[in-house]
Amino acid sequence: MSQASVHRVVIVGGGFGGLQATQNLRRADVEITLLDRRNFHLFQPLTYQVATGALSPGEIAYPLRAIFKRDRNIRVLMAEVTDVDLDARELRLSSVAGVPAPASIPYDTLIVSGGSRYSYFGHDEWAEFAEEVKSLESALTARSRILSAFEAAEMEPDPQRRESWLTFAVVGGGPTGVEMAGQIAELARDTLSRDFRSVNPRTGRILLIEATDRVLTSFPPSLSARAERSLERLGVTALLGRTVVGVDAEGVSVDDGNGSVERIPTRTVIWAAGVTASPLAAKLAERSGAELDRAGRVTVEADLTLPGHPEVFALGDMVRVRGTDGVPRVLPGVAPAAMQQGRYAAKAVRTRLRGGEAPPFHYRDKGNLATIGRAAAVADIKGLRLSGFIAWITWLVVHLWYLVGFQNRIVVFIRWMFSFATHGRGARLITEADAKRCPEP
Amino acid sequence: MSQASVHRVVIVGGGFGGLQATQNLRRADVEITLLDRRNFHLFQPLTYQVATGALSPGEIAYPLRAIFKRDRNIRVLMAEVTDVDLDARELRLSSVAGVPAPASIPYDTLIVSGGSRYSYFGHDEWAEFAEEVKSLESALTARSRILSAFEAAEMEPDPQRRESWLTFAVVGGGPTGVEMAGQIAELARDTLSRDFRSVNPRTGRILLIEATDRVLTSFPPSLSARAERSLERLGVTALLGRTVVGVDAEGVSVDDGNGSVERIPTRTVIWAAGVTASPLAAKLAERSGAELDRAGRVTVEADLTLPGHPEVFALGDMVRVRGTDGVPRVLPGVAPAAMQQGRYAAKAVRTRLRGGEAPPFHYRDKGNLATIGRAAAVADIKGLRLSGFIAWITWLVVHLWYLVGFQNRIVVFIRWMFSFATHGRGARLITEADAKRCPEP
């Protein structure tokens, strides 16, 4: 490692991995620059609640500068990383939202935690019609679309078209898909049940389309079955073993695997399937010669560093980690995995600065949680399988605990208690800026 | 009035006036349609707090359908009113945010409360560079711009350009301008004071540009003087007797009235000056032959009806009201005035349905409140003049009281207590959708 006056660590990404890396280096004798395209940390496990009007953006996002305002050795920089020069040890930057950015920034140690996004199975043209809910912006767009669909149904005289406005298709039976389907069902059945005069939102169809034969494949089959029963009680129809083969403004086409393609008329499609790593993974692979898998993840060594570049760490759901047996593995794309890796990278840097050598990264599975709806969740914690109310309380406590910002925790807690008691959702706003998309230039 | 099966009342605008009219007709034997371009009621007196990151949109906006979900005789309709046919007693509609709207809607009684917006002194081209904070969307854009300016200053190596990023010009010394200037000052001095490394936000210049010789001209001069001292203590420089004669991406030009024009380099201009009525006022005037004043307000009779059209009420800050002496008067453009008029219109409709005749509208001045910043406000309540902490507590209680939604009151109260204790502002997010403007088609 270079022995400049002060060791410069550049951390890319203010998500769970980058935030933990930064927090665990704040006391070290290093100069840190934390780079993100946004000025806030997003508590991504709750974006689906913004998409369904249960929470407001400010309640699950927290300014990065505020988190590190007392740490004089940490700079936060709002910029986009476009490339990395591993030889010169520099990142190339471009500006975001009109904020000027330097053309490049040098590092002694680089920690990249760029995350992932949903992939549209190679059909990027579907993105226009099928909104995902991973970013705050997309969650707000999804919110406007879901709420507008009910408004449109209320106004639509033609029964067939009205039905397609009241049909919601969620693609992908993972935790986000299950949560979105459950929340849309609750929105239709409880929150909005009395809001309309011409239509009854309770008659809305909520479909959850999943390619495999069960939802929540990262859970044991028994919990998948319980989740499916909870979804059914909420009024969600799970279409299992169905692959989406087409999405447009008026519906989705699904293939049942036996050569028969069904057309489902719907005006609202939420996408929560497939996953593709941040383009930074490909850049790192290209520059270092590291392996890249089909989902765009770069393979890192057992100590999370790039092959041949011990000064570059990459982590989170943009990487596969090579085990001590030499086999690359995909870790679960959940917050705890990214957080453990972020903490590990920070510790590895501190160890090296003292002249030591870090042991390989070891992932500790803390368990798996998914919520379906009101008082319904599933949890698989080291073999302990919970469902129903107990799992839901566990989910609630864990999510409140990890939510950044003491004030946000209280506000979110109050919103949840109110929603639970009244079935209400305060933040169901349709704003033009979110609903509108700019025309192609 | 027509004696159709059920009397159909159409109410345009879900602001303070329209909301009160609807609420006070909910028990009457009428069929109500409430029309708004948005699906929510906005608590406009607090939009400036969204613009400065103190509150989130969902905390000051509440879905209209949720307010009236139990009233089966009330329909809420999301649409834009484009014209009115007074002879046919029909409104012409167009759709908003992709929600289909009927081409027209018939009424027996029409209540129009379309509100107003800021006018750019006939220079609409300034709007691109000077954001107002009247709508929720504009408040979010203003928020992104204000916060981005600090980010840009942090990145800017050139001292002059850095200074222009750290200069904020608020145009208009009314309550909104004073509140915005005070909040930006608190943001720079308290909230962000430790957030940056290259710049010190405390060195930011916050200018309040007002054409007359004092701020808050709707208050007695003694309270204006106190407000000016409070602003000064917060670090706001009031430029009184200055008229804005130019705004562009790099600054504003102000005329001091003695022929000398000063150029102030700034990248962030907030507009809170001038006022122009909703275009609906002009439509009503055109169709009925009623008077229209220079600010685009239509003159209504003493009972708030359009001359020659007792079935059409118009109210709020889009009208002038003819006194019993025949002279048209402009009422204060504040929430209580619109609310009183909305209640009056509802009562007048109820009286008429019983065959009675409503007495002329009488405005009761409930007093005037404006807040400057932390524990600083001025109040003029029926001659009782308050300032400082007591006025601030009064402001706080009144605003919490009138905020729609029990849950919102609690959440806002908590946010305010936290902000007061910690100088923090949780919702200071820069989102691309807000910062970005679509290119011209």
DSSP alpha helix (H) spans, A212-298: 221-234, 279-288
Judge: B426–A100 Cβ closer than 8 Å, yes or no.
no
**Which whole number is the average pLDDT over A261-274?**
95
Asked whether residue A46 is domain-assigned, the answer is no
Closest alpha carbon within chain A to B441: A439
Distance from CA of B74 to the nearest CA of A (A): 8
Instruction: Please list every residue in chain B whose beta carbon sits closer than 8 Å to the beta carbon of residue A140.
Output: 431, 433
Q: What is the CATH number of the domain that holds B332?
A: 3.50.50.60
Instruction: Please list every residue in chain A whose beta carbon sits closer than 8 Å to the beta carbon of residue B431.
Output: 38, 57, 136-137, 140
Count structural domains, chain B: 2
Q: Note whether B128 and B268 are same-domain residues.
A: yes
Q: Which of A179, A210, A228, A301 is catalytic?
A: A179
Q: Note whether B162 and B239 are same-domain residues.
A: yes
Instruction: Please list every residue in chain B whose beta carbon sits closer than 8 Å to the beta carbon of residue A436.
Output: 97, 438
**Which whole number is the average pLDDT over B277-301?**
96
Asked whether residue B301 is domain-assigned, the answer is yes
Higher pLDDT, B344 or A435: B344
pLDDT (tens digit, 9 = 90+) per residue, B120-164?
988 999 999 999 999 998 999 999 999 999 999 998 989 999 999
Q: pLDDT band for A404, please (50, 70, 90 cuts).
A: confident
Closest to B403 in 3D by CA, of B70, B11, B12, B19: B19
pLDDT (tens digit, 9 = 90+) per residue, A167-178?
999 999 999 999
Predicted confidence (pLDDT) at residue A362 exceeds the cutoff of 80: yes
Closest to B336 in 3D by CA, of B278, B401, B276, B273: B401
Give the C-alpha separation, B171 to B180, whole Å: 10
Query: Ranked by mean pLDDT, which of B6-10, B130-134, B323-327 comes out on top?
Result: B6-10
Q: pLDDT band for A439, please (50, 70, 90 cuts).
A: very low
Q: Note whether A269 and A281 are same-domain residues.
A: no
The lowest-confidence range among A320-329, A369-378, A424-433, B240-249 is A424-433
Give the C-alpha separation, A172 to A272, whole Å: 5
Specify whether the CB–CB gap between B247 and B269 falls below 8 A: yes
Task: Considering only the beta carbons, identify the residue of A40, A59, A97 that sits closest to B148.
Answer: A97
Q: Note whether B288 and B210 are same-domain residues.
A: no
The lowest-confidence range among B42-46, B280-284, B296-300, B399-403 is B399-403
Q: What token pair was written down for A220?
A: 């044991």
Judge: B78–A407 Cβ closer than 8 Å, yes or no.
no
Q: Are strands A40-42 and A61-63 parallel, antiparallel or unpaired?
A: antiparallel
Strand partners, A32: A9, A74
Task: Considering only the beta carbons, identify the residue of A141, A410, A422 that sits closest to B414.
Answer: A410
Distance from CA of B1 to the nearest CA of A (A): 26
Closest to B61 in 3D by CA, of A347, A75, A434: A434
Predicted confidence (pLDDT) at residue B2 exceeds the cutoff of 70: no
Which one-letter amino acid corresponds to residue A110? L
Q: What is the CATH number of the domain that holds B151?
A: 3.50.50.100
Q: Is B200 on the interface with A (CB under 8 A)?
A: no
Give the C-alpha separation, A5 to A28, whole Å: 14
Q: Which one of B272, B296, B326 terminates a domain?
A: B272
Give the C-alpha separation, B160 to B266, whole Å: 10
Asked whether residue A62 is domain-assigned, the answer is no
Distance from CA of A217 to the nearest CA of B (A): 33
Q: pLDDT band for B417, please (50, 70, 90 cuts).
A: confident
Write down the pLDDT at residue A180: 96
The beta strand positions in B236-390, using DSSP E, are 236-240, 243-248, 251-255, 261-265, 268-271, 276-277, 298-300, 305-306, 309-314, 319-322, 328-329, 368-373, 376-381, 384-387
**Which whole number is the average pLDDT over A370-391?**
90
Task: Considering only the beta carbons, identify the residue of A63, A414, A426 that sits closest to B405.
Answer: A426
Closest alpha carbon within chain B to A147: B39
Judge: A428–B66 Cβ closer than 8 Å, yes or no.
yes
Strand partners, B300: B321
Q: Note whether A145 and A210 are same-domain residues.
A: yes
pLDDT (tens digit, 9 = 90+) per residue, B359-404?
999 999 988 999 998 888 999 988 899 999 899 889 888 888 888 7
CA distances from B286 to B282, B296, B318, B329 (A): 6, 11, 14, 20
Judge: A55–B58 Cβ closer than 8 Å, yes or no.
yes
Mean pLDDT of chain B: 91
Packed helices A175-186 and A221-234: angle between N→C axes, nearest 10 degrees = 20
Task: Considering only the beta carbons, identify the residue of B61, B408, B430 that sits closest to A39.
Answer: B430
pLDDT (tens digit, 9 = 90+) per residue, B176-206?
999 999 999 999 998 898 889 889 999 999 9
Neighbouring CB atoms inside 10 A of B367's CB total 17
Neighbouring CB atoms inside 10 A of B356's CB total 10
Q: What's the domain range around A230? A: 124-273+374-435
Q: Note whether A210 and A294 are same-domain residues.
A: no
Judge: B439–A441 Cβ closer than 8 Å, yes or no.
yes
Write down the pLDDT at residue A406: 65
Q: Note whether B95 and B130 are same-domain residues.
A: no
Q: What token pair was written down for B410?
A: 């609690």
Q: Note whether A101 and A199 are same-domain residues.
A: no
Predicted confidence (pLDDT) at residue B436 exceeds the cutoff of 70: no
Asked whether residue A1 is domain-assigned, the answer is no
Contact map slice: B 294-313 vs A, CB within 8 A? none
Closest alpha carbon within chain B to A69: B195
pLDDT (tens digit, 9 = 90+) per residue, A101-150?
999 999 999 999 999 998 898 899 999 999 999 999 899 999 999 999 99
Tokens 């001038």 belong to which residue?
B274
Judge: B63–A429 Cβ closer than 8 Å, yes or no.
yes
Give the C-alpha separation, B312 to B287, whole Å: 12
Write down the pLDDT at residue B344: 98
Higher pLDDT, A196 or B4: A196
Specify whether the CB–CB gap between A304 and A345 falls below 8 A: yes
Judge: A410–B407 Cβ closer than 8 Å, yes or no.
no
Specify whether the CB–CB gap between B148 and A99 falls below 8 A: yes
Percent pLDDT > 90 in chain B is: 72
Contacts of B103-108 with C-beta under 8 Å, sequence gap 24+, read B105/B10, B105/B33, B105/B35, B105/B77, B106/B8, B106/B10, B107/B8, B107/B9, B107/B10, B107/B33, B107/B311, B108/B1, B108/B2, B108/B4, B108/B7, B108/B8, B108/B9, B108/B311
Q: Note whether A24 and A168 are same-domain residues.
A: no
Check residue B380 and give left, alpha or beta (phi > 0: left; psi -120 to 50: alpha): beta
State the SS3 of A295-327. CCCEEECCCCEECCEEEEEECHHHEEEECCCCC
Predicted confidence (pLDDT) at residue B435 exceeds the cutoff of 80: no
Give the C-alpha separation, B147 to B142, whole Å: 9
Contact map slice: B 19-48 vs A, CB within 8 A? 38-40
Asked whether residue A57 is domain-assigned, the answer is no
- CA angle at residue A225 from A223 to A226, to 5 degrees? 65
Q: Note whether B225 and B312 are same-domain residues.
A: no
What is the Cα B387 distance to its own chain's centre? 23
Which one-letter amino acid corresponds to residue B313? F
Write down the pLDDT at residue A421: 73
Mean pLDDT of chain A: 91
Q: Is A411 on the interface with B (CB under 8 A)?
A: yes
Mention every residue, 6+ apart, whose C-beta is less than 8 A from residue A339: A16, A17, A19, A20
Task: Considering only the beta carbons, identify the residue of A57, A147, A418 that sits closest to B39.
Answer: A147
Predicted confidence (pLDDT) at residue A38 exceeds the cutoff of 70: yes
What dihedral do alpha carbons B125, B129, B135, B140 form, nearest 10°? 150
User: Helix, strand, coil proportions of chain B in percent (round to 5)?
Assistant: 35, 25, 35
Instruction: Please list every residue in chain B whose beta carbon sits closer than 8 Å to the beta carbon of residue A96.
Output: 432
Write down the pLDDT at residue A409: 77
Write down the pLDDT at residue B206: 97
Higher pLDDT, B413 or A161: A161
Q: Which one of B272, B290, B312 terminates a domain?
A: B272
Residue A186 among the catalytic residues: no
Specify whether the CB–CB gap between A79 and A100 falls below 8 A: no
Substitution target from A138, A267, A411 for chain B, most B beta carbons within 10 A: A411
Asked whether residue B440 is domain-assigned, the answer is no
Q: What token pair was written down for A326?
A: 């030499």
Write down the pLDDT at residue B433: 53
Q: Is B414 on the interface with A (CB under 8 A)?
A: yes
Substitution target from A155, A412, A416, A425 for chain B, most B beta carbons within 10 A: A155
Write down the pLDDT at residue A81: 97
Q: Which H or E element spans position A105?
A: strand A104-106
Burial letters for A191-205: b for 16+ Cβ neighbours within 10 Å, e otherwise?
bbebbbbebebeebb
Percent pLDDT > 90 in chain A is: 73
**Which whole number is the average pLDDT over A252-272?**
94
What is the Cα B26 distance to its own chain's centre? 26
Mention every residue, 6+ apart, whose C-beta is less than 8 A from residue A270: A51, A130, A131, A132, A133, A142, A146, A168, A169, A170, A171, A177, A180, A184
Judge: A431–B137 Cβ closer than 8 Å, yes or no.
yes
Q: Are strands B80-85 and B90-94 parallel, antiparallel or unpaired?
A: antiparallel
Judge: A57–B433 Cβ closer than 8 Å, yes or no.
no
Predicted confidence (pLDDT) at residue B437 exceeds the cutoff of 90: no
| Three-state SS at B427 | coil
Judge: B63–A98 Cβ closer than 8 Å, yes or no.
no
Predicted confidence (pLDDT) at residue B430 exceeds the cutoff of 80: no
Distance from CA of A44 to the nearest CA of B (A): 15
| Three-state SS at B262 | strand
Contact map slice: B 148-177 vs A, CB within 8 A? 148, 151-152, 154-156
Contact map slice: B 48-77 vs A, CB within 8 A? 53, 55-59, 61-63, 65-66, 69-70, 72, 75-77
The residues of B annotated with a catalytic role in the active site are: 179
Q: What token pair was written down for B28?
A: 């009457």
Write down the pLDDT at residue A419: 72
| Three-state SS at A59 | helix
Packed helices A406-422 and B406-422: angle between N→C axes, nearest 10 degrees = 170
Q: Is A249 on the interface with B (CB under 8 A)?
A: no
Asked whether residue A258 is domain-assigned, the answer is yes
Q: Note whether B129 and B146 are same-domain residues.
A: yes
Give the C-alpha separation, B427 to B397, whole Å: 22
Strand partners, A35: A12, A77
Check residue B382 and give left, alpha or beta (phi > 0: left; psi -120 to 50: alpha): left
Task: Considering only the beta carbons, identify the residue of B58, B98, B195 that sits closest to A65.
Answer: B195
Substitution target from B197, B199, B438 for chain A, most A beta carbons within 10 A: B197
Q: Note whether A296 and A320 are same-domain residues.
A: yes
Instruction: Please list every residue in chain B whose beta carbon sits closer than 8 Å to the beta carbon of residue A409.
Output: none
Give the C-alpha separation, A269 to B431, whole Å: 23
Q: Which one of B272, B291, B322 terminates a domain?
A: B272
**CB hemisphere CA count around A337 (13 angstroms):** 20
Asked whether residue B226 is domain-assigned, the answer is yes
Contact map slice: A 100-139 vs B, CB within 8 A? 100-102, 136-137
Write down the pLDDT at residue A426: 65
Predicted confidence (pLDDT) at residue B38 exceeds the cutoff of 50: yes
Judge: A195–B69 Cβ closer than 8 Å, yes or no.
yes
What is the Cα B379 distance to its own chain's centre? 19
Q: What token pair was written down for B53?
A: 């990151």
Higher pLDDT, B331 or A56: B331
Q: Positive or negative, the Cα torsion across B182, B183, B188, B194?
A: positive
The ipTM estimated for the assembled molecules is 0.85
Burial letters for A206-241: b for 16+ Cβ neighbours within 10 Å, e otherwise?
bbbbbbeebbbeebeeebbbbbbebbeebbbebbbe
What dihedral do alpha carbons B279, B281, B285, B291 form, nearest 10°? -120
Predicted confidence (pLDDT) at residue A326 exceeds the cutoff of 50: yes
Q: Is A192 on the interface with B (CB under 8 A)?
A: yes
Predicted confidence (pLDDT) at residue A417 exceeds the cutoff of 80: no
Predicted confidence (pLDDT) at residue A4 exceeds the cutoff of 70: no
Specify whether the CB–CB gap between A209 and A172 falls below 8 A: yes
Distance from CA of A196 to the nearest CA of B (A): 7
Closest alpha carbon within chain A to B64: A195
Predicted confidence (pLDDT) at residue A438 exceeds the cutoff of 70: no
Closest alpha carbon within chain B to A441: B439
Q: Taking the CA atoms of chain A, what radius of gyration do you get in angstroms? A: 22
Judge: B98–A152 Cβ closer than 8 Å, yes or no.
yes
Distance from CA of A102 to the nearest CA of B (A): 7
Strand partners, A384: A381
Specify whether the CB–CB gap between A330 and A307 falls below 8 A: no
